[in-house]
Amino acid sequence: MTDSLFFFLASLTLLCALMVVISKNPVHSVLFLILTFFTISGHYILLNAQFLAAVNIIVYAGAIMVLFLFVIMFLNQSQERVRTATISKFAGVTAGGLLFIVLVAALRDASVQTYDPETFDSQIGMVENLGKVLFGDYLLPFELASVLFLVAMVGAVMLGKKEEGEKHF
């Protein structure tokens, strides 16, 4: 049962993530991204990390997606069609190919562990253990992510700022 649910969620996650990239309408891309976050939360529940699933839904599918929709509607970019240069397409395909190679190399060395009742710890995904790991071993990446979010907020404000003499439609 769990295996079939995992494969269903994995295929749905990949399909939604692919639709985020393929969609021409930015609002549709954001909606597919919300679906992707919900399916990733399903993966967290399968991993017994209920807190991460709830935080993923509240923070990402809630607040961040509302921010994305606000910026898309605020900038009103849907009327302008920008032609993509050939070099940009080549750079995107190259970056995607390199990411795929890294992913295959990482998965080749990964080991899949099975369920062992003697070593199973039901508290592994709980808040206390997550906090110890997050603020202990991963403190630097956690702080760098917060700085990245701060820079993204400042960038959104700067993009939305109107210059003097600009017409307001």
Tally of domains in the chain: 2
| Residue 7 CA: distances (Å) to CA of 39, 46, 47 | 11, 11, 14
Choose the final residue of a domain: 54, 78, 102. Answer: 78
Whole-structure pTM value? 0.57
Each residue of 80-95: pLDDT tens digit? 555 667 888 888 889 9
pLDDT digits (tens, 9 = 90+) for 107-166: 887 777 777 777 777 776 677 877 888 888 889 888 998 898 888 888 877 777 766 666
Task: Answer whether residue 109 is part of any domain.
Answer: no
Residue 29, domain member (yes or no): yes
Query: pLDDT tens digits for 8-65?
Result: 999 999 999 999 889 888 888 888 988 999 999 999 999 888 888 888 888 888 887 7
CATH code: domain of residue 57:
1.20.120.1200
Q: Give the range of the structural domain holding residue 146, as residue numbers without chain letter.
A: 122-162
- Residue 104: inside a domain: no
